[in-house]
Amino acid sequence: MRVGIVGLLQESNTFINGQTTLAHFEQDLLCEGAEIERRMADAHHEVGGFFEGLAAAGIEAVPIFLARALPYGTMQRGVLEELLARMDRALDRAGRLDGLLAAPHGATVSETAADVDGYWLARLRTRFGTRFPIIATFDLHANISAQLVAACDALIGYRSNPHLDQRARGVEAAKLMARTLGGEVRPTMAANLLPLAVNIERQLTSAEPCQSLYGRADAMLAAPGVLTNSVALGFPYADVAQMGSAIVVVTNNDWAKARMLADDLANHWWSRREEFNGQFITVDQALDRAVQLDGSVCLLDMGDNVGGGSPADGTLLAHGLHQRQMGPSFVCLYDPAAYELAQAAGLDARVTLSIGGKTDALHGSPLTAEFTVGRFAEGKFSEPNPRHGGIVNFNMGPTAIVTTDAGLTVMITSRRCAPMSLNQLVSCGLDPGSFRYLVAKGVHAPVAAYREVCRHLIRVDTPGVTSADLRRLEYHHRRPMYPFEPDMTWVAGNGAQAKVGSR
């Protein structure tokens, strides 16, 4: 048996002014054939899990095409077409295949297709026919569509946020493919698409209200005939019709049971919808609370969440730390121009810089202060441990470390970089444990790393393109949903999507 491996992953924030280009994929992952295995076989990523699971089953893995870009804006016109043309040519070269393991993100948007993931998987379904098994993984933040469900025999979503189980989900998908090809099971899927936008602040799977919801889904896995299930919390920063939450259940050739179980879990979730409302903490409230705490504090900048596509140059927390002179503090800001000025000034120079706040007016004004230039670094670092996103190698571009007399340290990067690893600091000669306050531009993704040095975590309701308070964002294409229409009624079964397994 030969099973192909394909992937196209990018989380598209449609509220960002900038667009995702082909260069964004080239900077992260854009590879074909054997290079995919070389780069991903050992990664904490679902594609690495594909290789592991297929090898364990004695099935030949055929790496075909993989593209991934850091979350950012809508994909620029022509980029999707170019990526899919490359995928088609790679498929032409792959030879005979018995099935496909696919890795979409689930929240990718382009100028030419609002539902990119449903679109490219539907193309594969058309190419290979209805009797050809296609099993796909998806990000916990996917916006599941009817088109995506119809294109696949089974969908398997991440179960943890931060995303630490990606490789495990890839192994699970490969094992299900092996059972399908062996004739042991016939995956049959039902999905329920809830009109529910889940506040990003409430999406920590190890805490309530998510913990018991996922616990209920885990308990369902013990039911006879259930092969897998998934809870998709959705990606609210995409203004598209399919934005929202979803339940997916896959059974062994029992559509009625899959539908019943999906409806049951969806109704349970809907009955608890108010628990998923945010508990918003302002910048001033967060700083007031932080100074009262013993030990180091991680201030999570939710409005400038790089893992959600934000510009990474939000300054609101940096301004607060600077104005209050709160002592040893750290913040990372993307600002290539400020880096160049620091580099020109040279090591140990005292220089006045205006850092960050340059992408738009949503994320704060530039932080202007006198700094001492402390270090320069090439900006490349690695993370060997499982971390959100399954990324091992990072590149934040040439980087400068500058510090105010009051103890605010600013890492100035020339490329956007999500705070998934403490090695981001260590690689620049900084000791994360030496700071009393550390700003991490994320919500849950940084937690896997930062909880190792921070006793306390405070999620701060900063404005921006990843605002936790969705009422700050202007939607034009979403369907009616809670919490925007707080008095709406809904019952599972109205609008649920389903697909009988192809084999």
Strands 226-232 and 99-104, by their bridges, are unpaired
Helix (H) or strand (E) holding 40: helix 34-40
Give the tens place of pLDDT for each residue, 323-339.
999 999 999 999 999 99
Give the tens place of pLDDT for each residue, 405-434.
999 999 999 999 999 999 999 999 999 999
* Percent over 70 (pLDDT), the chain: 98
Q: In sequence order, what are the residues at sequence separation of 6 or more whose Cβ sits closer than 8 angstroms to the Cβ of residue 25?
A: 10, 67, 68, 69, 79, 83
- Grade residue 5 by pLDDT with cuts at 50, 70 and 90: very high
In the prediction, which pLDDT does 502 show? 42
Give the tens place of pLDDT for each residue, 250-304.
999 999 999 999 999 999 999 999 999 988 999 999 999 999 999 999 999 999 9
Alpha-carbon distance of 303 to 168, in angstroms, equals: 30
- Grade residue 247 by pLDDT with cuts at 50, 70 and 90: very high
Give the tens place of pLDDT for each residue, 349-360.
999 999 999 988
**174: alpha, beta or left, given left = phi > 0 and alpha = psi -120 to 50?**
alpha
Give the tens place of pLDDT for each residue, 234-245.
999 999 999 999
* Percent over 90 (pLDDT), the chain: 92
Alpha helices in 325-456 (DSSP H): 336-345, 423-426, 447-450
Reduce the DSSP state of residue 141 to 3 states and report it: coil
- Grade residue 494 by pLDDT with cuts at 50, 70 and 90: low
Alpha-carbon distance of 60 to 195, in angstroms, equals: 41
Alpha-carbon distance of 470 to 163, in angstroms, equals: 22
Alpha-carbon distance of 399 to 425, in angstroms, equals: 11
